[in-house]
Structure 1
Amino acid sequence: MLVYILRRLLQVIPVFIGATLLIYFLVFAMPGDPIAALFGDKQPSPQLLAELRAQYHLDQPFVVQYWFYLTGIFRGDLGTTFSGQSVNDVLARTLPVTGRLAVMSIAIEFCLSIVIGTVSAVRKGKAFDHGALIVGLLFLSIPVFVLGFVSQYFLAIKLGWFSPTVGANNGWNGLWLPALVLGVSLFATSMRLMRGSVIETRNQDWVRTAYSKGLSRSRVLPVHVMRNSLIPMITNSATNFGVLLVGATVTEAVFNIPGVGNTLFQATIRHEGPTIVSFVTIFVVLYVLVNLLVDLLYGLLDPRIRYVK
């Protein structure tokens, strides 16, 4: 187990180098002058432009810029935004907000998928199964911004159950509505995976053996069937968690959430290389660690899985 964990952690190094190099190259290749864009319609002096380019190493070749970025990473310095803020401070301010949103969304998706997927499998071909499929496809087909505006209007403005926007109230309680929107928009795929896995597991010989030994359905279903059916859904949820960390931009914009998505979008518009690459670097590391945690969880769910050298 320890060797497996160390080997997986060592895999972070080439992933880190490859991801940062690729993203930095794409930012470097973007057309336009980000320093001149800071002044809008104003025309700063050539001397001021040259000083700012030198300050952010934009007058250097790509390899030199990337080297400055890497050395800063090893010193714990993620760089400085074009507005003069430390990327470390921006990340420390925005990542916890998006992290809370992602955790709450995955928790909602997870609970809905387990309950609805299991009941659909047990009632295969019946009204509940067909209804769950229709509802799942409906939420899957509706764009997340439409679902956000609809829930904002009915659940927040009309019924008053939630606050319509988040803003500074970005603690756990203030993120329930956007988390609900993201959770229900993602649960359809996990629910169908759970349903199919439960159906397949219930047809296994060892499940029939458990019933033949006199175990009740209330014992076999949660302990034996559901436990061994969670692996496909957990894999999908882990992927969704990584997507939510970087891809909740639309939801954050609809609900005015000061998270990573909005910040990354603004940084892309301004061609802020250090901000974009630093955020992507953190996401890569988090994504690898989450997938490592999921791999280790497989062994707890299914004892037949062993981590060998």
Structure 2
Amino acid sequence: MAFYILRRILQAVPVFFGATLLIYFMVFAMPGDSIAALFGDHQPSPALIDQLRAQYHLDQPFIVQYFFYITGIFRLDFGTSFSGQPVIEVLSRTFPVTLRLAVMSVAIAFVLAIIIGLFSALGKDGVFDNSMLVLALIFVALPIFVLAFLAQYFLAIQLGWFRPTVGADNDWGDLWLPAIVLGFSVYATSMRLTRSSTIDTLNQDWVRTAYSKGLPRRRVIPVHVLRNSLIPMVTDLGTVFGVLMVGATVTEGIFNVPGVGNTLYQAIIRGENPTVVSFVTVFVVVYVFINIVVDLLYGLLDPRIRYVSN
């Protein structure tokens, strides 16, 4: 196990450098002058612009800029935004909010997908199964901004169950409405995966053997069927968690969540390249870490999976 974890970490090293190099190149290769854009129509003196370019190493060749950036990352120095605020402070303020939102969303999607997917598979082609499949298709086809506005209007404004917006003072309770929206936006795919995986597992010979040995249904379903059916969904939800960390921009904007997605969007609008690159770099690290955790979960769900050194 230890050797496998070490090998996966070493495999992640070239992924990290390759992803950060590509991200850095794409962001800083965008047309326009980000320094000049800060001042709009009131341009300062050329000397001041040259001074700011030198401060952010923008007067250096690309590979030199990347070297300064990547060495700063290993010192936990993510640079300074064009507004003069250290990026690490922006991250420390916004990342926990988005992390809480992603955890709550994944938990909602995970629980719903297991329960509904399992009962749909057990009652295949029944009324409940067909109804849930139609409902899942609706959630798949419904854009997330439409779902967010509907939830905000009916659940928050009309019924008053939740706060319509989150704001600066937020806790776990304030994030329930955007978490429900995000959870339902990814629930449909996970539910269909759970259903199809459970149906496939129910048709395996070893499940019929368990029944023939006299094991009761209440043991066969949770221990033998459900456990082995969770592997595809764990893979999907591991990917979804990374996507939610990155792609919650629309939802955070609608509900005014002071998280990473909302801040990243504002940084892109303002052309704050150091903030954009640093945020995306953190996303890369989180995504790689989540994939390693998902790989380790396979062995817990399926005892037949072993981590070998070769």
What aligned pairs does 1:73-112 form with structure 2 within 5 A after superposition? 73-112=73-112
Letter in 1 for 2:67: W
Letter in 2 for 1:114: I
Segments of structure 1 that go 5 or more residues without pairing to the other structure are none
Q: Which residue of 2 aligns with 1:20?
A: 20
How far the C-alpha of 1:269 sits from its partner, in A, is 2.5
Q: Which residue of 2 aligns with 1:184?
A: 184
TM-score (norm 2): 0.98
2:283 maps to 1:283: yes
Letter in 1 for 2:51: E
Q: CA separation in 2, counterparts of 1:66 and 1:270? A: 21
2:8 maps to 1:4: no
Q: Which residue of 1 aligns with 2:232?
A: 232
2:46 maps to 1:46: yes
What aligned pairs does 1:283-302 form with structure 2 within 5 A after superposition? 283-302=283-302
Secondary structure of the structure 2 residue equivalent to 1:11: helix
Letter in 1 for 2:274: P
Secondary structure of the structure 1 residue equivalent to 2:271: coil
Q: Which residue of 1 aligns with 2:217?
A: 217
Q: CA separation in 1, counterparts of 2:50 and 2:136? A: 55
Secondary structure of the structure 2 residue equivalent to 1:68: helix
Q: Which residue of 2 aligns with 1:170?
A: 170
Q: Which moved more, 1:245-254 or 1:43-52?
A: 43-52
Letter in 1 for 2:220: V
What aligned pairs does 1:93-172 form with structure 2 within 5 A after superposition? 93-172=93-172
State whether residues 27 and 271 of structure 1, in contact with CA within 8 Å, keep that contact through their aligned partners in structure 2: no
How far the C-alpha of 1:266 sits from its partner, in A, is 1.9
Letter in 2 for 1:34: S
Letter in 2 for 1:187: Y
How far the C-alpha of 1:272 sits from its partner, in A, is 2.4
Q: CA separation in 1, counterparts of 2:268 and 2:19? A: 16
Q: CA separation in 1, counterparts of 2:156 and 2:75? A: 45
What aligned pairs does 1:62-73 form with structure 2 within 5 A after superposition? 62-73=62-73
Alignment RMSD = 0.9
Q: Which moved more, 1:110-119 or 1:66-75?
A: 66-75
Q: Which residue of 1 aligns with 2:56?
A: 56
Letter in 1 for 2:63: V
How far the C-alpha of 1:265 sits from its partner, in A, is 1.4
Q: Which moved more, 1:141-150 or 1:64-73?
A: 64-73
Q: Deviations over 1:147-205 (max 9, x none)?
A: 00010000000000000000123211110000000111111111011001111111111
How far the C-alpha of 1:97 sits from its partner, in A, is 0.5
State whether residues 78 and 278 of structure 1, in contact with CA within 8 Å, keep that contact through their aligned partners in structure 2: yes
State whether residues 30 and 271 of structure 1, in contact with CA within 8 Å, keep that contact through their aligned partners in structure 2: no
State whether residues 116 and 191 of structure 1, in contact with CA within 8 Å, keep that contact through their aligned partners in structure 2: yes
Secondary structure of the structure 1 residue equivalent to 2:70: helix
How far the C-alpha of 1:270 sits from its partner, in A, is 2.9
Q: Which residue of 1 aligns with 2:195?
A: 195
Q: Deviations over 1:97-152 (max 9, x none)?
A: 10000000000000010000000000000000100000001011110001000100
Q: Which residue of 2 aligns with 1:268?
A: 268
Secondary structure of the structure 2 residue equivalent to 1:25: helix
How far the C-alpha of 1:206 sits from its partner, in A, is 1.1
Q: Which moved more, 1:143-152 or 1:206-215?
A: 206-215
Q: Deviations over 1:257-309 (max 9, x none)?
A: 11111111122223323212211111111111111111111101100011111
Q: CA separation in 1, counterparts of 2:305 and 2:44? A: 63
Query: In the comparison of the two structures, how many residue pairs are matched?
Result: 309
Secondary structure of the structure 2 residue equivalent to 1:189: helix
Segments of structure 2 that go 5 or more residues without pairing to the other structure are none
2:242 maps to 1:242: yes
Secondary structure of the structure 2 residue equivalent to 1:292: helix
Q: Which residue of 1 aligns with 2:32?
A: 32
Q: CA separation in 2, counterparts of 1:214 and 1:46? A: 85
Q: CA separation in 2, counterparts of 1:31 and 1:269? A: 14
Q: CA separation in 2, counterparts of 1:278 and 1:138? A: 36
Secondary structure of the structure 2 residue equivalent to 1:242: helix
State whether residues 35 and 49 of structure 1, in contact with CA within 8 Å, keep that contact through their aligned partners in structure 2: yes
Letter in 2 for 1:63: I
